[in-house]
Structure 1
Amino acid sequence: MTLSNENEAPRKLEGKFQARVVCFILGLGSLVAWSSMLTVGDYYYTLFPFVATSGKGGIGPYIVVCLLSACFGIADAHVQGGMVGDLSYMCPEFIQSFFAGLAASGALASGLRLVTKVGFENSKNGLGKGTMLFFAISTVFEFFCIILYAFYFPKLSIVKYYRSKAALEGSKTVSADLAAAGIHDQTNQQVEFDAKNLERLSNKQLFLQNIDLAADLFLIYVLTLSIFPGFLYENTGSHQLGTWYPLVLIAMYNVLDLISRYIPLIKCLTLESRKGLVIAVVSRFVLIPAFYFTAKYGDQGWMIMLVSFLGLTNGYLTVCVFTMAPKGYKGPEQNALGNLLVLFLFSGIFAGVALDWLWLIGKSGF
């Protein structure tokens, strides 16, 4: 493949819609396993009523579940880091579609979980059967996404265009991708690079130039994961919805998280100010006392509204950060910056999950 010149620019748009659909599906598939683990919380709470503190359900199975959860987290971090780095040197719509797919995985998992709960509610060991069916569907979809990314996505003309462009700008990882896909890379044809194209920023320089965006992502997910989903199972009390209550809360979060990731497609609703992003991210921390007092004194309607707002702001701010970050950089820097930002996103997830235990202080067994 030869890199398109300016007169051939319209050709690069061929397959753009298909690529966006694939990015959405890949986002959905990359997180569906982790979303599945989160969504079957009602099953885990049946097996381990007080998590690790009482020993009910068996310490062996509990350790296995924890190890599997850790494996999913490690795999998810590698996949998201690689995908975001790959899409960062392409058009912003691809990143938006991928992150919309991530949110869709939660919404799909919630929907499937509700269906399996209804389908097996009255059967013997219905909770366990529904959970196993739920995991089987998720596994099949994961394999489908692997095939889609390996064989279909690299053949789209717009993907070939952006990968060749990034390779010409000096991206070695993209050159390897092109070779693996059987696409002839112009870097092997002794193409003369402009000296400016060879000037690359180090990871340290990229970090210092984007420290505010990295902090934004860290803080977004510290807050979100300190509430979702653990708090929603542990601290929401008893309400009219009964055992359906936490599942409804999880579903509302996932649906609003998905919807909000399409808001930045409307230009006038996109938050492009870095200072504005910092203010919006920090302002979300008022949700911590809001959730505490709503769980203690409010009814289920107020809690559903708060959870919906949590999902709305999480998805919207995430997409705003990732679509803004790569602007103004060459392909190699865009790739590296995407990886760097995902590192801070997952650092925020890890910190948020750890801080989630603070809600349990003072409860029985702690």
Structure 2
Amino acid sequence: MQKYHPTRVITLTYQPFILTTTAIFTYHEAKVNTRMRNLAGYILFFLSSFAATILNVATSERDGMAPFIGICIIAAAFGVADGHVQGGMTGDLSLMCPEFIQSFFAGLAASGAITSALRLVTKAAFENSRDGLSKGAMLFSSILCFFVLVCVLLYAFIFPKLPIVKYYRSKAASEGSLMVTANLAAGEIQNRSNPTSDEDPACVERLSTKQLLLQNIDYALDMFLIYKVLIFPGFLAEDTGSHSLGPW
């Protein structure tokens, strides 16, 4: 523990899992049930948040390598869950109007600030109490569990039945999309075949992953530059001055 900064290790544990999960789903996207992918991701988010709460309760009076390894495992689980949900929801919303994608990513960006603010509030609430940091972390994890559970229920039971979602999913199915099959059943929508597919099969021909990559090479290059050139070198070279987690 003296050679590595703990928070740095946690981040480096999280990133490979989200990148690997995203890459696997990208390669097999045509065979993946998007609804089950998103639900699995949200459920894994909930279980990971709950596990963080349990770990905090179980190890509140001690520290060491074992709790730290547990935190790293939970961080890896969060990475897998994020790999499920981010790509799955992006693909789901891409079949709808562009404003949905913009709202999703705006909310994704805002969630970081909201999470930080919530963590500061929960920390301040127990600042002067015994084991205040631990109690604040437990309250934060409990609130997180609640919101993730709400997301699971909303996506599973409410989202598929919204009229605008039904409309766009029916439209996508009529155009030959294979991603919305399970979503149609969840929204109680009757699948309608594409009338133009019999006349011209090429109109519903799917592009390969390589073709999609070549068509969006500028976005792929942007992501590479952001993560591999801008973020990671500065993150790894950060001079923290101390290799311990320490207090807030």
Range class of TM-score, shorter chain: 0.5 to 0.7
What TM-score does the superposition give when structure 1 sets the normalisation length? Answer: 0.47
CA distance in 2, matches of 1:206, 1:200: 10
Decide whether the 8 Å contact of 2:93 with 2:100 is kept in 1.
yes
CA distance in 2, matches of 1:112, 1:129: 14
Post-superposition Cα deviations, 1:95-135, rounded to whole Å, max 9, x if no partner, equal 11111111222121111111112111000010110010001
Q: Report what 1:20 is aligned to.
A: none
What TM-score does the superposition give when structure 2 sets the normalisation length? Answer: 0.67
Offset, 1:180: 3.1
Q: Does 1:135 align with 2:141?
A: yes
Structure 1 residues 167 and 67: alpha-carbon distance in aligned structure 2, compared to 1, 3 A threshold: same
CA distance in 2, matches of 1:215, 1:145: 32
Q: Report what 2:103 is aligned to.
A: 97
What does 1:7-18 correspond to in 2, within 5 Å?
none
Q: Report what 1:359 is aligned to.
A: 238
Structure 1 residues 68 and 166: alpha-carbon distance in aligned structure 2, compared to 1, 3 A threshold: same
What does 1:1-366 correspond to in 2, within 5 Å?
57-187=63-193, 191-193=195-197, 194-195=199-200, 196-222=202-228, 226=231, 352=232, 356-360=235-239
Q: Percent identity?
A: 56
CA distance in 2, matches of 1:176, 1:107: 34
Offset, 1:364: 6.2
3-state SS in 2 of match to 1:359: coil
User: Which one-letter code corresponds to 1:96 in the other structure?
Assistant: Q
CA distance in 2, matches of 1:94, 1:206: 21
Give ranges in structure 2 of 5+ residues lacking alignment. Answer: 1-41, 50-55, 244-248
CA distance in 2, matches of 1:357, 1:217: 18
Decide whether the 8 Å contact of 1:164 with 1:175 is kept in 2.
no
Offset, 1:152: 1.4
Post-superposition Cα deviations, 1:302-350, rounded to whole Å, max 9, x if no partner, equal xxxxxxxxxxxxxxxxxxxxxxxxxxxxxxxxxxxxxxxxxxxxxxxxx
CA distance in 1, matches of 2:234, 2:69: 20
CA distance in 1, matches of 2:122, 2:165: 38
Give ranges in structure 1 of 5+ residues lacking alignment. Answer: 1-28, 37-42, 48-55, 227-351
CA distance in 1, matches of 2:164, 2:69: 45
Structure 1 residues 211 and 192: alpha-carbon distance in aligned structure 2, compared to 1, 3 A threshold: closer
Post-superposition Cα deviations, 1:8-43, rounded to whole Å, max 9, x if no partner, equal xxxxxxxxxxxxxxxxxxxxx89x98xx9xxxxxx9
Offset, 1:355: 6.5
Structure 1 residues 223 and 99: alpha-carbon distance in aligned structure 2, compared to 1, 3 A threshold: farther
Offset, 1:160: 1.1
Offset, 1:185: 0.8
Offset, 1:359: 2.2
Post-superposition Cα deviations, 1:208-236, rounded to whole Å, max 9, x if no partner, equal 11111111123224456x3xxxxxxxxxx
Decide whether the 8 Å contact of 2:160 with 2:186 is kept in 1.
no
RMSD across aligned C-alpha pairs, in angstroms?
Answer: 2.8
Number of positions where the alignment pairs a residue of Structure 1 with one of Structure 2: 187
CA distance in 2, matches of 1:212, 1:358: 27
